Structure 1
């Protein structure tokens, strides 16, 4: 195993050191600090059992941040490292941490210039916690060491003892890959990260990570399951959720949407008889069933779609669209409201 660090005294940095260490990685964490972390690619610093009390840490590259005055150290491990843990405490469980550590005699009292993979030992306790990290130290794994664990007693149960604490970093403007822990703030407005399911963008004004894109890229749509019962007349009636499911959505930042309703409506009871297929909105935006959004037929049948534009909605608000129908009379032929589809499209 060789652990290399660029820009660390003495002045013996080789061209190979420079090629292997990630000197171009720089995701800001503040005005002067760099977000430390593992460089993604394969399975960096993978941990596997190497014996009852020994752990092998695989190759990888990372950035280790020291104090503000120290800056960040590019580090690479080009061959697996094997670490041996001390025996467990007599009574209590202990949590040790495996970490990348940089010693720099210009800033610490260790008296050496060295990059290492090492064990930071925890303290046995009835409620053990991982040890605090010294300066210029990047935690990779936590290892739970049971009371009395030793090579003679079966050692550490590696299948359950390892806690993955690798967090990832990226170059400036890059997307930070998912790693251990999502409880960190962005460093600047517009920073991106991968939460493991989707992308998130840091909103500095709100002080929060927000889904990106903020609205679905595709329209949301729902289809009518059963025809209107047409057992009431002269009033607008909500379809039940079972007969025609509702749509609940988050208003996009633009505050604007298109809503479309389409299907077949018919009423040939009399020359004045009508049938309507409509929708209403409730929640952060309200709108009633009616002529402003509905599809209708009078003394005949219509197959079509009505698409309307709505703006001025409150961004981030929750709105539910509920399909509805209206039959003015039901005493003749071809009286139905059926085959409906309700769709909401988001204006970016």
Structure 2
């Protein structure tokens, strides 16, 4: 017998049966139930799962299922069935329908006469034939069975027509399980809910270790207080977690987004000259390709920054008209600072002059992202106020 079972069969459980099925693997699914699944591992340790794999035989309708060990959960009263396949097993698929394709299942199935009245007490690897259809679907998994693979059988397929197209026919349905307290190597079961707070799984897709919080899998690439390495984390597990980026920047998770851990200077500039004759502040200049010069910055823990701004300013053919450049600061759509002459870098005269100013802005929300917009005006609606080499800069204050 190559498909062994370990639940004290009425017709005798051998010592070999007991040795093969001493799995010790029960990932809980409730107080009296466990997940059904396959024990992970391969001979060379390169892959997550090798047990009960399947390889099709080219040009035929047959496939070989490789050895492996698994657990199949019955109803609460039935309990859990450990199963082991200890040698290669060949299975055969029926020829394809003349008109439509179908989808078959390969399952590891347990027969328990005491519960199902089947007259059988054994385990078997079986095919469950699907129904041919224009859009075929897989048949339901039988009771007390663990699905292993789906196999698409095209219409008209047979050994005489070249057999099944094995490279595209097989869909792997196997899932993993480990003993309670073990870290589950995810395989087709990344979204399965955890069973208890503090359960761990290794998610191969995201490359992170995850902990079940009671409602969700939370990334845990490092212990609390550790810095997550580059590429290991897309969403923070807790407020105050840190990660490194590919650009070498240290970031802090604020509960909803990653922010620079140590906000540094921010700078923006425009070297394209433009003018305005507006006597009220405007961000739009004429004769320039720059729609508006803006600068985003993250407020530091102190909530205070130095804002610096400047330009090369002049007023066409006028020594009395003044060109003013002032910052407007917004948080989303809320204006924190309006442009004002008292906060302006100002210049006048037909000869261009470099003008600048520095201002301190306080009472910002640490970690929030603010926007500075360069605003401009002329004191005369008939005299263009020109601005060139415009810049904005912020520096955090400790």
> 2:253 matched to which residue of 1?
250
**CA-CA distance at 1:11 after TM superposition:** 5.0
How far apart, CA to CA, are the structure 2 residues paired with 1:157 and 1:60? 25
Q: Is the 8 A contact 1:248 1:321 kept in 2?
A: no
Q: Is the 8 A contact 2:38 2:174 kept in 1?
A: yes
Aligned match for 1:56, one of 52, 64, 68: 64
Q: Comparing both chains, which one has the higher relative contact order based on Cα–Cα distances under 8 Å and sequence gaps of 6 or more? A: 1
After the TM superposition, list the runs of 4 or more consecutive aligned residues in structure 1 that deviate by more than 4 angstroms: 245-249, 255-258, 318-322
3-state SS of 1:73 partner: strand
Is the alpha carbon distance of 1:125 and 1:172 closer, same or farther for their aligned partners in structure 2, counting shifts above 3 Å? same
3-state SS of 1:186 partner: coil
**CA-CA distance at 1:162 after TM superposition:** 0.5
> 1:38 matched to which residue of 2?
38
**CA-CA distance at 1:321 after TM superposition:** 10
Gap runs ≥5 in structure 1: 224-244, 263-278, 292-311, 323-341, 343-348
3-state SS of 2:28 partner: coil
Is the alpha carbon distance of 1:319 and 1:122 closer, same or farther for their aligned partners in structure 2, counting shifts above 3 Å? farther
Q: Is the 8 A contact 1:281 1:287 kept in 2?
A: no
Is the alpha carbon distance of 1:147 and 1:288 closer, same or farther for their aligned partners in structure 2, counting shifts above 3 Å? farther
**CA-CA distance at 1:195 after TM superposition:** 1.6
How many residues are matched?
266
Gap runs ≥5 in structure 2: 43-49, 230-242, 266-295, 308-364, 372-395
> 1:289 matched to which residue of 2?
305
3-state SS of 1:9 partner: coil
Aligned match for 2:244, one of 199, 204, 220: 220
**CA-CA distance at 1:189 after TM superposition:** 1.0
CA-based RMSD of the aligned residues comes to: 4.0
**CA-CA distance at 1:14 after TM superposition:** 1.7
How far apart, CA to CA, are the structure 1 residues paired with 2:69 and 2:202? 20
> 1:105 matched to which residue of 2?
113
**CA-CA distance at 1:41 after TM superposition:** 1.3
Is the alpha carbon distance of 1:217 and 1:109 closer, same or farther for their aligned partners in structure 2, counting shifts above 3 Å? same
> 1:193 matched to which residue of 2?
201
Q: Is the 8 A contact 1:248 1:320 kept in 2?
A: no
How far apart, CA to CA, are the structure 1 residues paired with 2:254 and 2:123? 51
- Does 1:154 find its partner at 2:162? yes
Is the alpha carbon distance of 1:282 and 1:139 closer, same or farther for their aligned partners in structure 2, counting shifts above 3 Å? farther
The 5 Å alignment of 1:1-348 reads 2-10=2-10, 12-42=12-42, 43-50=50-57, 52-196=60-204, 197-204=207-214, 207-213=215-221, 216-217=227-228, 219-220=243-244, 249-251=252-254, 259=262, 280-281=297-298, 287-290=303-306
Is the alpha carbon distance of 1:171 and 1:319 closer, same or farther for their aligned partners in structure 2, counting shifts above 3 Å? farther
**CA-CA distance at 1:170 after TM superposition:** 0.5
3-state SS of 1:122 partner: coil
How far apart, CA to CA, are the structure 2 residues paired with 1:3 and 1:170? 21
How far apart, CA to CA, are the structure 2 residues paired with 1:182 and 1:221? 25
TM (normalized to structure 2)? 0.58
What do residues 86-138 of structure 1 show as CA deviations (whole Å, max 9, x unaligned)?
11112211111111110000111321101111111111122222221112100
How far apart, CA to CA, are the structure 1 residues paired with 2:81 and 2:370? 54
Is the alpha carbon distance of 1:112 and 1:246 closer, same or farther for their aligned partners in structure 2, counting shifts above 3 Å? closer
Q: Is the 8 A contact 1:247 1:321 kept in 2?
A: no
**CA-CA distance at 1:142 after TM superposition:** 0.7
**CA-CA distance at 1:60 after TM superposition:** 0.4
3-state SS of 2:34 partner: coil
Larger Rg: 2
TM (normalized to structure 1)? 0.66
Deviates more, 1:214-223 or 1:103-112: 214-223
How far apart, CA to CA, are the structure 2 residues paired with 1:7 and 1:256? 56
